[in-house]
C-alpha cells in the first residue's frame, strides 16, 4: 500500500513582521501544513490572546495555502503537568484549555503536550499519578471541544518504553488522549528502535508522528543524516496503516532557511513515499 502522508513543518512563529515570509517559504518548499507552537506571548498563536492570535495565523496560513493540522503546546507543560503541586497542575489544565480554543479556531484537531518531567525530588510513582490526573482532566476538555491530545515522548525521564505508554494511556481511559510519537527522540535518547515502538503501539495508541533524525544518544540531526533506520520506520508506518500527517520537527537555521526547508521536505517525502 502506497500512502501519501501530508507533511507539516513544526516551528515557532514569532510576531515580528516575518510571519508571512516564513509561511511562504514553508509552502514554497512543498510542505502541506505548519505545526505552530503555543507560547505565552508575541507568537502565533499565544496564550495571552489565544482567540485573536489563532485567527491571525489562520488567515495568514489560508493566504499561502497551508493547513494547520496540529499545534505544539509549548514549554508551559514541562514544569506543571506532573507537578506535586495541585496549583501547578491546574495551570497545565488551564493552558490546555486555551490551547484547544486556539487549535479549534485554526482548524486543527491535535494538540501536542509534553506530559511533565521527572523532578529530582519526586518518586516515579508520584509523577505517574500526577500526570494521570492531569491527563484525565484535559481529556474531558478535549472531548467537549471534539479535539484530541497527543502526549509526546521527549527527554523528560518519564514513560520510557512502549509498554509504559500503553499502560499509561489505558489508565487515562479516554480515546481523546493518545501519543505523539517522535521517531528521532527514541534514537536520541537511546531507548531502542522506533520501528519496534511503532509495532508495539500501533494506530490504536499513536495519534501523530514526528520526524527528526539523530545519532544514538544524541545529537539530533537533519533527516537522513543520523542513525534512524528510515526504511524500517516506513515499513512500520505502512504496517499500521498510518496515512495521517507527519510533522517534521527541526530548528530553522539562521542562514539560508529556504535551502534547509526544501531539502528537509524532499527527504521527508522520500521517506514516506519511497517504494518498498
By the 10 Å C-beta count (0-12 exposed, 13-18 middle, 19+ buried), 59 is classed as exposed
Instruction: List the Cα angle 227/222/266 in 5-degree steps.
Output: 110
Q: Write down the pTM of the prediction.
A: 0.97
Nearest to 135 by CA among 119, 154, 148, 153: 148
Instruction: List the Cα angle 265/33/4 in 5-degree steps.
Output: 65
The alpha carbons of the chain give a radius of gyration, in whole angstroms, of 18
DSSP conformation letters of 43-90: BSSBTTSHHHHHHHHHHHHHHHT-B--EEE--GGGTTTTT-SSHHHHH
Task: Mark 234-260 as b/e (b = at least 16 C-beta within 10 Å).
Answer: bebbeebebbbbbbbbbebeeeebeeb
Do residues 269 and 253 lie in contact, with contact meaning Cβ atoms separated by under 8 Å?
no
Q: Domains in the chain, ordered, with CATH?
A: 7-273 (3.20.20.150)
pLDDT in tens, the chain (276 residues): 345 899 999 999 999 999 999 999 999 999 999 999 999 999 999 999 999 999 999 999 999 999 999 999 999 999 999 999 999 999 999 999 999 999 999 999 999 999 999 999 999 999 999 999 999 999 999 999 999 999 999 999 999 999 999 999 999 999 999 999 999 999 999 999 999 999 999 999 999 999 999 999 999 999 999 999 999 999 999 999 999 999 999 999 999 999 999 999 999 999 999 754
Can you give the pLDDT at residue 2? 46
From residue 19, how far is each of 24, 31, 64, 214, 259 by CA, in Å? Answer: 9, 16, 11, 28, 18
Can you give the pLDDT at residue 210? 98
Amino acid at each position: 500500500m502506497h500512502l501519501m502522508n501530508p507533511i507539516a513543518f513544526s516551528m515557532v512563529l514569532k510576531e515580528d513582521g516575518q510571519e508571512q515570509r516564513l509561511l511562504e517559504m514553508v509552502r514554497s518548499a512543498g510542505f502541506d501544513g505548519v505545526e505552530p507552537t503555543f507560547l505565552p506571548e508575541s507568537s502565533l498563536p499565544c496564550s495571552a490572546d489565544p482567540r485573536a492570535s489563532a485567527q491571525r495565523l489562520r488567515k495568514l496560513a489560508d493566504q499561502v495555502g497551508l493547513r494547520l493540522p496540529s499545534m505544539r503546546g509549548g514549554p508551559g507543560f514541562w514544569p506543571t503537568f506532573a507537578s506535586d503541586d495541585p496549583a501547578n497542575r491546574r495551570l497545565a489544565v488551564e493552558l490546555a484549555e486555551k490551547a484547544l480554543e486556539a487549535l479549534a479556531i485554526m482548524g486543527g484537531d491535535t494538540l501536542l503536550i509534553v506530559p511533565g518531567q521527572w523532578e529530582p525530588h519526586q518518586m516515579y510513582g508520584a509523577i505517574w499519578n500526577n500526570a494521570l490526573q492531569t491527563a484525565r482532566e484535559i481529556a474531558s476538555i478535549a472531548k467537549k471541544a471534539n479535539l484530541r491530545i497527543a502526549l509526546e515522548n521527549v527527554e523528560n525521564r518519564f514513560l520510557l518504553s512502549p509498554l509504559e505508554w500503553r499502560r499509561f494511556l489505558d489508565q487515562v481511559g479516554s480515546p481523546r488522549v493518545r501519543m505523539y510519537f517522535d521517531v528521532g527522540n527514541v534514537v536520541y535518547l537511546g531507548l531502542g528502535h522506533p520501528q519496534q515502538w511503532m509495532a508495539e503501539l500501533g494506530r490504536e495508541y499513536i495519534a501523530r508522528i514526528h520526524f527528526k533524525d539523530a545519532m544514538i544518544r544524541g545529537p539530533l540531526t537533519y533527516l537522513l543524516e543520523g542513525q534512524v533506520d528510515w526504511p524500517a520506520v516506513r515499513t512500520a508506518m505502512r504496517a499500521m496503516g498510518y496515512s495521517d500527517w507527519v510533522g517534521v520537527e527541526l530548528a530553522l537555521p539562521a542562514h539560508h532557511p529556504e535551502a534547509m526547508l526544501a531539502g528537509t521536505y524532499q527527504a521527508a517525502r522520500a521517506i514516506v513515499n519511497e517504494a518498498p
